[in-house]
Structure formats: C-alpha cells, structure tokens
Amino acid sequence: MTVEQAKMDARKWMAQADGVMAATYKRTPVVFSRGSGCTLWDTEGRSYLDFVAGIAVCNLGHAHPAVSNALSEQARTLVHVSNLYYTIPQTELASWLVDHSFGDKVFFCNSGAEANEAAIKLARKYFKDRAEPDRYRIISMIQSFHGRTLGTLSATGQDKIKQGFSPILEGFDFVPFNDIQAIRDKISVSTCAILLEPVQGEGGIRSADPEFLQEVRRLCDETGTLLIFDEIQTGIGRTGKLFAYEHFGIEPDIMTLAKALANGLPIGAMLAKESVAAAFVPGSHASTFGGTPLVTAVSLCVLKTLDQEDIIGHCAEVGRYFKERLVELKSRHDSVVDVRGLGLLLGMELNTDGLPLVQACLEKGFVINCVQGNTLRFVPPLIVQKAEIDRLIHCLDGIL
C-alpha cells in the first residue's frame, strides 16, 4: 500500500467509526493497529512513543511477552465458568492481593466504576447490618473522579460529569480536597464513609497532603466512619509503590482497583478489611464476569512480573527523573505554571489550552493526554526508559 493509500484507508476507518459509534469520545485522529513496549504503530506504519498507556492501564507496555503468553495459555485452557464455582486463577489472584495489601477480602468485577459501586454498596450495608440504617451518606472530594455509572457519577465531585442525568443518586456530600476542617464541618451521624483518591487523576494530578490523609484516618477512627480509597488510577505501582496509600503511612478500610490490574484486560477489584467485608453475604452483590479465569490468570502474571523485574522500583526512579525534567521545562517556559504528581502519574499545568500541544506531540510521534483542559497528563508504561523520557522532553521543549 502506498503512503497515500494508507492515509485514505485511515480516513475511511475514522469516518466509518464516527458513523456508527456513539459520540461519547472526542477522538484524536489516529488509528492504532499494533504495539510493543512503549511504542505504538498506526495503520500508516508511523511509530509513536506512548505516554498514555491506555490511561494508566498498560503498565508493562504493549504486547509484553509474559502477559501475551499467560493470556493465550489461559484462553486455551478455561475462559469462564461463573462465580457459582471455584477456580484456581481467581483464588491465586485474591490471595496475592490480600498478601500484598491491608485487605482481607476481595470482590472482583470488570471496571473501575463497578469496583466503586461495590465499595458504596458495602459501606451502606455495613451500617444497615449494625442497626444504623440512616448512616448512608458519603463525603467525597471536589474535583474527584469515581466513574460514569449513576452511582459513581453521583459520587464524583465534578458537575460536568453529572450534567443531563438528574435525578442522581442521593447521599453524597462534597468538600474541597486537602481541607480537613471542611470534613470536620460536614461529617455527621449519617456519614458512613469518606471516599477519596490519594492522588486525583482526572481532576488534574493532585496529591493528597500526608497530614490531611493522616487526619482523615484519625477522624474516621474516632467516629467509626469507613475510609475508602479509590486507587483505580494510583494502584498497581503507578506512583512508585504498589498502592499509593503506602506513601502516607496509613491504610484505608476499603480500596478499589481496576485500570492496570490486568494490563488492559477488563477487571476491577474491591478490597476490604475482614470486619467490613463481612457485610457482604451470599446474594448481597454479584457479577457474572467478575474475576474470570482468563482475566485473573493474566492479572496474576502482571503482578508477578512487576515483582520479579522490580518494575515498581524502576517506576519510582524514572518518575523522579521525569519530574525533574518537567520542572526544568517549567523554569524555561512561562506557559508552564505547575508540575505535580508521584511516580509515573505526572501532570504539567499550562496557562493555555493543552489540546494543541497534545496534537503537536502526536504529529511528532508522541502520545500524551490532557485533563481539565490545561493539564498535560503523563502516565507511560512503568517500563519507560530515561532515554524515551528525554525524547519527549526534547519534543515538548521545542513545541513550548
């Protein structure tokens, strides 16, 4: 195929997609067809360095041989049977998560939103069982993001996510992130839980202050309120620790995971302490596909690979390097107003619209993304090398 034909072919696919797909995404005009490590190729054969990783999903990069092998081997063995029965990969994955976290019990589902739905239901049921039926309200943070189902968009602290879907679920109170006094003012006898992301992702890559989280934990202990961490974006090594809560010297009572848990296969998980998880009994909650042998075998392989190759240690190291290089850019360019984040969950806030930069990077062979209109988000595979980071920094320097 000539270059001209390949271009026309790509345009044809994009037009066809726009004709038949619900218009829920404003897509960047590129058709990706293949990936390996941190590199993606489009249908025209152009290569790109990927600093999005499917939005903090493909932590081991694309087509990682161990992951591909685990996937094809399990696909030939057993894909699905239903949670009416026991399977080994699901049991092994749950055991791994319990062994490596504060959690005692795991519930599997298929997405981040579903994991948060499970957490909200568990927090409500926990107090129903303790004969406190009116204790159902959840304090959530302004600028948070917890998902797109009716329950989780109701828990999300951004009006634009809720627009057009009223009436939304009742029972959520919102306070500014990192404002302990606002939580003290809002918490009441009807509060069952406090829900937050240790680092807000979609909200602009904003970290919790350690003192804030420690105070939140203390307040929860004093009042018997449950603490729920949404680690859907921050979990699985992204911040340079397996879970972001490890940075803060505290533990939640409930934690939700998804995104990177199976490197791109759909999976969600909710972990909880024993005493809390006990509120879920047969019939309380369920998921047909939750934790199939296929996704859990892949997830187990992902977690073991992270461990064996010390990829989280690598993430912490290159994340520090990446952040330093972004801070250098800030010192050279007035349009950069802030650099934030932990590990390889990094954001660079601009005083202008970020989309033209995303577009310009794409034309130069770099995939990056933008949140909140003006904050570039960098969430590459955790295996990214310093030389690849240097190439992106050079490109951004030129464009800025």
Ligand X SMILES: *Cc1c(COP(=O)(O)O)cnc(C)c1O
Residues with catalytic function: 145, 230, 259
Q: For residue 383, give both structure tokens.
A: 């295996």
Q: Which is nearer to ligand X, 113 or 242 (CB)?
A: 113
Give the pairing type, strands 137-141 and 172-175.
Answer: parallel
In whole angstroms, the minimum distance from the beta carbon of 259 to ligand X comes to 6
In whole angstroms, the minimum distance from the beta carbon of 43 to ligand X comes to 26
Residue 112 binds ligand X (CB under 6 A): yes
Tell me if 311 sits within 8 A of 237, measured CB to CB: yes
Closest CA to 348 of 367, 360, 333, 365: 333
Exactly one of 258, 265, 357, 368 binds ligand X (CB under 6 A); which one? 258
Q: Which is nearer to ligand X, 195 or 336 (CB)?
A: 195
Is 220 in a helix, a strand, or coil? Answer: helix
Q: Which is nearer to ligand X, 7 or 27 (CB)?
A: 27
Exactly one of 197, 253, 349, 388 binds ligand X (CB under 6 A); which one? 197
Residue 375's DSSP bridge partners are 349, 371
Tell me if 298 sits within 8 A of 75, measured CB to CB: no
Contacts (CB under 6 A) with ligand X, residues 228-257 = 230, 232-233
Residue 319 binds ligand X (CB under 6 A): no
Q: Which helix (H) or strand (E) holds 322?
A: helix 311-332
Q: Which is nearer to ligand X, 202 or 253 (CB)?
A: 202
Residue 61 CA to its chain's centroid (Å) = 15
Residue type, 8: M
Q: Which is nearer to ligand X, 201 or 341 (CB)?
A: 201
Contacts (CB under 6 A) with ligand X, residues 67-106 = none
Which of these ranges, 3-11, 197-205, 238-246, 275-283, lies near ligand X under the rule CB under 6 A? 197-205
CA-to-CA dists, residue 186 to 176, 250, 379, angstroms: 11, 22, 34
Burial 115-137 (b: 16+ CB within 10 A, else e): bbbbbbbbbbbbbeeeeeeebbb
Contacts (CB under 6 A) with ligand X, residues 137-156 = 145-147
Residue 201 binds ligand X (CB under 6 A): yes
Interface contacts to ligand X, rule CB under 6 A = 111-113, 116, 145-147, 197, 201-202, 230, 232-233, 258-259
